[in-house]
Amino acid sequence: MATLFDINLFALFGQLLVGLINGSFYALLSLGLAIIFGLLKIINFAQGAMYMLGAFIALLALKYMGINYWFALILVPLTVGLIGILMERFLIRPIANEDNLYSLLLTFGLALIIQGVFTHAFGSSGLSYPVPEALKGGTKLPFMYLPNYRAWIIIVSVFVCAGTWWMIEKTKLGAYLRAGTENPQLMQAFGINVPLIVTLTFGFGVALAGFAGVMAAPIYSVSPDMGSNILIAVFAIVVIGGMGSIGGAIITGLGMGVVEGLTKYFYPEASNTVIFLVMVIVLLLKPAGLFGKEA
Amino acid sequence: MKKTNRTLLSAVVSGAIAATIACSAQATTDGQVKLGILADMGGTYADICGSGCVIAAEMAIEDFGGNVLGKPIEMVSADSQLKPDVASAIARKWVEDEGVDAIGGLVSSAVSGAVSKVNADSKNITLISGSASNTFTTKTCSPYNVHWTYNVVALANGTVKPMVQAGKKKWFFITADYSFGHALEGMASKVINENGGEVLGNVRAPLGTTDFSSYILQAQASGADVVALANAGNDTVNALKAAAEFGLTEQMDVAGLLVFTPNAQAMDPATAGGMRLTSGFYWDMDDETRQWSKRFEQRHGAIPSMIHAGVYSVTMHYLNAVKAAGTDDTDTVMKTMKATKPNDFFARNATLRPDGRMVHDMLYVEIKKKDERKDKNDIYKIIKVIPGDEAYSPMLPQCNFS
Amino acid sequence: MNNMKLNLFLLALALLAPTVLYPVFLAKVLCFALFACAFNLLLGFAGLLSFGHAAFLGTGGYVTGYLMINSGLTPEIAIILGTLAGGLLGAIFGKLAVKREGIYFAMVTLALAQLVFFFYLQAPFTNGEDGLQGVPRGALFGLIDLSNNMVMYYFVLTIFVAGYWLINRTVHSPFGQVLKAIRENEDRATSLGYDVNQYKWLAFVISAALAALAGSTKTLVFELASLTDVHWHMSGEVILMTLVGGVGTIFGPLLGAGFIVTMQNYLSGGEMGNYIHIIMGAVFVICVLSFRSGIVGQLMKFKRNNF
């Protein structure tokens, strides 16, 4: 019976680790959303589409231009960020003065278009992207066999999230950004180009999604609906963490991944719903979210 | 003035309503044969029954001569998106509004179930080639169902039985979470228990799952001899990929219970090589199959799956029956179809039973290892031929529609 | 008075339409029109954007479908129970959601609806991905057989007219006026002594119940209830219908639903099937960028400027 207990304990650790990997993606995506929301006060419904776009661009760049994973890790976020910048400049800014629900609907429409175009071109069955040679294989842990690439995901995501947090909270650029959030008119009066900051911020938030997309390509199959499947969960995470809270988005993202892993072990039937259940509970107890300020 | 207007209007309206209510939709016997092909144009099963199923049906119509009962054969096709509601709505429109006589293709048991319900009401023929559940000739059997190609019983008997008998007693299932997966798991479990094995557990993954890692971990923790993949299409490919990634393939046997040739091609030969499975057809079996498959490959760009071949075969059998019966009346055509033995490159030693089940020889095959393959299309070696009576279960008395 | 004439004209049109068009298609248009009108009650007249209305449509469908298959109730009772179930769910959603405003409200309803989606995906009585297939239409009051498409259509039309009438009454009632006041200026409504959240909540419940009514009816028409109706894409579709037709107008959602359903009907099945989502996305973007008042809104503007 002892062995049986051990096996179960191992399985639990395994699920927690897989949860942490999923949580890494949640964290990257919700961080991007939170940054955009913080400054623009809009919810970017196309964040999932940008994540999908990141994976597809990486795939196509490898197939047609021979650009490997490591270069893609840098080039793809830049490309996706640029697309985001164009999107903000030419589509979102014209309606910046309208109710921000309209920008939600606009980005929803854009997400439908992008997803539709890729479904049309590649079908929805999913394509595979090879794991980079250097990260193939795995490490035998006492409780499970951990593929190296999955370990890499956790390390890189935590690093990127922490770096972003540091940049926003501790640097001068971040200070501008936060000030722009609090009082754009005053910033403008100080001679700071607020519209430019807004555009760049949007680009950065979207680039994070593109980055997550490249990270995801080798382990999830690259398919047009990969973004829409994860997006709603990420929305719930943003609500739980407190809309616009940078640290909240990161911690909640990783945390919810772990909670999902726990649920997969103890009560797998609820693993899809647990994030939303947590959201309901948080809304009842703390309507502004765990790390949010009361609006 | 106004009043007369209104009275006139209501008179017109009620007259029109009365006239239209009188005529209601039923299967058409108009001498015009029209086929509908429902396939998955861009989803998880697109490679095994997407545009290929439409091409296969077109080929059958062309080879038949394009005409029957003195009129050109018409064909429409649509994307079921693997959604039962979409399929049901399209089927309803086809048979009630557009005069479609028979609907074929039909991949995913959920889709086939929805279409077969519509057709049972309207008395139109359902030519199921792509679905696996055995429900269409058992629990939800109907006089208008024709089930070609394969089903879960044949898969369980063909693939699972030899493994249990060879000493692989403990099983764990990773199952596609809808009617097909449930049926396959149920049938396989029955075969396992009957042969002295046991099922240690199962986990249900939604159709179209891309990340199987948590399911693989559950399977790893089960301590089973064999992890059975009761899914199909890209689900199988992705599950096997995750199994290899987490080292499962080195600890336990992985058995793909339903593997189609395009999916076998997509799998890494290092992990899939040596896996044994059951198929209703293999393109490289003999000259007859090769000849048809080459023609298909020229048009489709890939070798046929057993579903593609099945669609051709059942369409041909249907058209032959219409010709022989001299009418497109549903009941007469069904009778003729069941009275004639199907016989072509696909259907070997075949009969169409009164319950609608087409029983034919199945193949027990092994996926070739890398060094065994001549080219990319050389994927199976045939271990043995399973006679139809051994593969399929006997007809239920309540489904005998002779 | 003018509206009255238009209503009568539309009714005559609806009565005659099945003589030329496929009745099941028309019934589908009516179901979605009712769904959109219910949604518009909330967005157009209370200013609340729900991104989770699919949950109510689907709940109505599943409850009615389950009852028709398993209970032997007559269809009108099954529909009423489906509607009540949707209203009840709406009451719970509303309690949680009305505390938040604007974009928060949209996100909370979306996430709650996703919770409901996963519940239906896994609950045994819905049959998961397979859906409830072969729901019998039954006999109305145990007397009138609904299996004939024509009879079914007129039954759906009756339900639609009733729902539509109720929405119109609500909008023009004192309650509707308070809702509009809240939409225009919530603080003022509060200072006038109205319990704003209570009003919003009630509007939410009515809207949810009517959306469920649409779902219940749709299930009978198609003899099937499935996950598509609970998926968040459906919540997006109803927003699009309302937006295209004209938010906050009486006829807008009707027209928008007709437009979108017709488009989907002609695109699905054909060569263009692949483009449905692209076109719907494009319509969304165009509407938001340059057409925010929708078809009816534009027409009214045109009429104001030229007559």
Q: What is the pLDDT of residue B57?
A: 96
- What is the pTM (predicted TM-score) of this model? 0.88
Work out the average pLDDT over A5-14: 71
Work out the average pLDDT over B251-262: 91
Of A123, A145, A226, the CB nearest to B246: A145
Question: Does residue A121 surpass a pLDDT of 80?
Answer: yes
Q: Does C119 touch chain B (CB under 8 A)?
A: no
Please check whether residue C95 lies inside any domain of the structure: yes
Work out the average pLDDT over C171-199: 88
Question: Does residue B34 surpass a pLDDT of 70?
Answer: yes
Question: Does residue C58 surpass a pLDDT of 90?
Answer: yes
CB atoms A239 and C239 under 8 Å: no
Q: What is the pLDDT of residue C19?
A: 83
Question: Does residue B15 surpass a pLDDT of 60?
Answer: no
Reported confidence tier of residue B24, pLDDT bands at 50, 70, 90: very low
Chain A positions touching C280 (Cβ under 8 A) are 109, 112, 116
* DSSP structure class, residue A139: E
- What confidence tens digit (pLDDT) does each residue in C78-130 have? 999 999 999 999 999 999 888 887 788 888 899 899 999 999 988 888 988 88
Nearest-CA residue of chain A relative to B248? A145
Q: What is the pLDDT of residue C273?
A: 63
Question: Does residue C153 surpass a pLDDT of 70?
Answer: yes
Q: What is the pLDDT of residue A163?
A: 94
Please check whether residue C13 lies inside any domain of the structure: no
| CA distance, residue B261 to nearest chain A CA (Å) | 16
Task: Assign 3-class secondary structure to A226-289.
Answer: HHHHHHHHHHHHHHHHCCCCHHHHHHHHHHHHHHHHHHHHHCHHHCCCHHHHHHHHHHHHCCCC
- What confidence tens digit (pLDDT) does each residue in B330-363 have? 999 999 999 999 999 999 999 999 999 999 999 9
Of the candidates A89, A87, A77, the residue with the CA atom closest to the CA atom of residue A107: A87
Question: Does residue A145 surpass a pLDDT of 90?
Answer: no
Q: What is the pLDDT of residue A1?
A: 36
- What confidence tens digit (pLDDT) does each residue in B76-133 have? 999 888 889 989 999 999 998 889 999 999 998 999 999 999 999 899 999 999 999 9
Q: Is pLDDT larger for residue B233 or for residue B20? A: B233
Q: What is the pLDDT of residue B8?
A: 55
- What confidence tens digit (pLDDT) does each residue in C194-224 have? 888 889 999 999 999 999 999 999 999 999 9
How far is CA B345 from its chain centroid? Answer: 18
Question: Does residue B23 surpass a pLDDT of 50?
Answer: no
Q: Are A7 and B221 in contact (CB under 8 A)?
A: yes
Question: Does residue A6 surpass a pLDDT of 60?
Answer: no
Count how many domains chain C has.
1
CB atoms A239 and C122 under 8 Å: no
The phi-psi region of residue C303 (left if phi > 0; otherwise alpha if psi is between -120 and 50; otherwise beta) is alpha
Q: Does B80 touch chain A (CB under 8 A)?
A: no
Q: How far is CA A89 from CA A99, A108, C20, in A?
A: 17, 17, 48
Interior CA angle at B387 toward B381 and B390, to 5°? 115
Q: What is the pLDDT of residue C1?
A: 46
Q: What is the pLDDT of residue A212?
A: 96
Of the candidates B197, B268, B258, the residue with the CA atom closest to the CA atom of residue B228: B258
Please check whether residue C176 lies inside any domain of the structure: yes
Q: Name the percent of chain C lying above pLDDT 70.
A: 97
Work out the average pLDDT over A273-279: 90
Q: Does A231 touch chain C (CB under 8 A)?
A: no
Question: Does residue B279 surpass a pLDDT of 60?
Answer: yes
Q: Are A274 and A26 in contact (CB under 8 A)?
A: no
Topology given in CATH for the domain delimited by B153-279+368-372: Rossmann fold (3.40.50)
Work out the average pLDDT over C183-204: 88
Question: Does residue A126 surpass a pLDDT of 80?
Answer: no
- What confidence tens digit (pLDDT) does each residue in B205-243 have? 988 888 898 899 889 888 899 999 999 988 998 999 899
Chain C positions touching A43 (Cβ under 8 A) are 103, 106-107
Q: Which chains are within 8 Å of C by 3+ CB pairs?
A: A, B
CB atoms A272 and C283 under 8 Å: no
CB atoms B41 and C273 under 8 Å: yes
Question: Does residue A294 surpass a pLDDT of 60?
Answer: no
Sorted by sequence, the CB contacts under 8 Å of residue B129 that are 6+ apart come out as B49, B53, B104, B105, B106, B107, B148, B149, B307, B310, B311, B314
Domains in chain B: boundaries: 34-150+284-360, 153-279+368-372
- What confidence tens digit (pLDDT) does each residue in C2-20 have? 677 888 888 888 888 888 8
Of B42, B246, B247, the CB nearest to A123: B42
| Three-state SS at A192 | coil
Q: What is the pLDDT of residue B396?
A: 92
Q: What is the pLDDT of residue B19?
A: 52
Domain B34-150+284-360, CATH 3.40.50.2300 — does that match?
Answer: yes
Work out the average pLDDT over B2-26: 53
Of A18, A138, A226, the CB nearest to B217: A18
Q: How far is CA C36 from CA B304, C145, C151, C267, C304, in A?
A: 45, 28, 24, 21, 25
Q: What is the pLDDT of residue A195?
A: 83
Q: What is the dihedral sign for C-alpha B197, B203, B207, B209?
A: negative
CB atoms C110 and A235 under 8 Å: yes
Q: What are the φ/ψ torsions at residue A147 (nearest 5 degrees)?
A: -60, 135
DSSP-assigned letters across all residues of B125-163: EEEE-B---GGGGTTT--TTEEE-S--HHHHIIIIIHHH
Q: Does A156 touch chain B (CB under 8 A)?
A: no
Q: How far, in Å, CA of B96 to CA of B88, rounded?
A: 12
Domain range for C81: 20-231
- What confidence tens digit (pLDDT) does each residue in A208-266 have? 999 999 999 998 888 888 898 899 899 999 989 988 788 899 999 999 999 999 998 88
Q: Comparing B34-150+284-360 with B153-279+368-372, is the CATH topology the same?
A: yes
Reported confidence tier of residue A280, pLDDT bands at 50, 70, 90: confident
Q: Are C130 and B179 in contact (CB under 8 A)?
A: yes
CB atoms B85 and C131 under 8 Å: yes
Q: Does C278 touch chain A (CB under 8 A)?
A: yes
Q: What is the pLDDT of residue C183?
A: 87
Interface size, chain A vs chain C, as Cβ–Cβ contacts under 8 Å: 121
- What confidence tens digit (pLDDT) does each residue in B39-82 have? 988 778 888 898 899 999 999 999 999 999 989 999 999 988 88
When the pLDDT of each residue in chain A is averaged and rounded to a whole number, the result is: 87
CB atoms C149 and B24 under 8 Å: yes
Q: Is pLDDT larger for residue B15 or for residue C293? A: C293
Q: What is the pLDDT of residue A3?
A: 46
| CA distance, residue A145 to nearest chain C CA (Å) | 30
Work out the average pLDDT over B256-274: 89
Q: How far is CA C77 from CA B366, C24, C82, C142, C213, in A?
A: 56, 22, 9, 11, 12
Q: What is the pLDDT of residue B25?
A: 45
A127 beta partners: A222
Q: Which chains are within 8 Å of B by 3+ CB pairs?
A: A, C
Q: Are strands C224-225 and C144-145 parallel, antiparallel or unpaired?
A: unpaired
Nearest-CA residue of chain C relative to A92? C289
Question: Does residue C30 surpass a pLDDT of 90?
Answer: yes
Work out the average pLDDT over C169-198: 88
When the pLDDT of each residue in chain B is averaged and rounded to a whole number, the result is: 89
Q: Name the percent of chain B lying above pLDDT 70.
A: 93
Length of chain A: 295
Give residue for tokens 């896996």: B275
Sorted by sequence, the CB contacts under 8 Å of residue B270 that are 6+ apart come out as B244, B370
Work out the average pLDDT over A133-138: 86
When the pLDDT of each residue in chain C is averaged and rounded to a whole number, the result is: 89
CB atoms A15 and B217 under 8 Å: yes
Type of residue at C243 = L
Please check whether residue C205 lies inside any domain of the structure: yes
Quote ipTM for the complex.
0.86
Q: What is the pLDDT of residue A70?
A: 95
* Weakest mean pLDDT among A173-182, B85-94, B206-215, C246-255: A173-182
Q: How far, in Å, CA of B148 to CA of B130, rounded?
A: 8
Show the tokens assigned to A61: 């760049």
